Amino acid sequence: MLKEFKEFAIKGNMLDMAIGIVIGAAFSAIVSSMVDDIIMPPIGLILGNVDFSELFLVLKEGAVQGPYATVDAAKSAGAVTWNLGLFINAVVKFTIVAFALFVVVKGVNRLRREDEAKPAAPAAPSREEVLLGEIRDLLKK
């Protein structure tokens, strides 16, 4: 069983998948930082100093009555919140990741079409054809 697992883990596809997962996780962290730290602050500033990570509606008051300054304060008071800003951030992150994957898939598909469009090299003549050609050439002499 250990031998089978070793063969499975060493296969090229498994290694490619593992590398893809690690790169995907790193890419996700970069996109999260870009959305949270680069994109959303200027948008919030334009919309009147709105911090999207703290944009929420209280659906049910907690043990301590609001208003709550942050989502964490509302959660620690036991309030039920509707975290619209976090959802908007998640949608922006998803859109960026989906677009990046679209660009990658589009590039791979283009490369595949180019490979399919290349004409296949003619097959080498069989041994019989080579021998017949040699016999023909000998007979001509």
pLDDT at 36: 84
CB contact at 8 A, 84 and 57:
yes
Strands 80-82 and 57-60: antiparallel
pTM > 0.75: no
pLDDT at 11: 67
Place of tokens 């893809």: 20
pLDDT tens, position by position, for the chain (141 residues)? Answer: 788 777 776 666 777 777 888 888 888 888 888 888 888 888 888 888 877 788 888 988 988 887 888 888 898 899 999 998 889 888 888 888 888 888 888 988 888 887 777 777 778 888 888 888 989 988 888
Pick the CATH number of 2-50+83-140 from 3.30.565.10, 1.10.1200.120, 3.90.180.10, 3.40.30.10: 1.10.1200.120
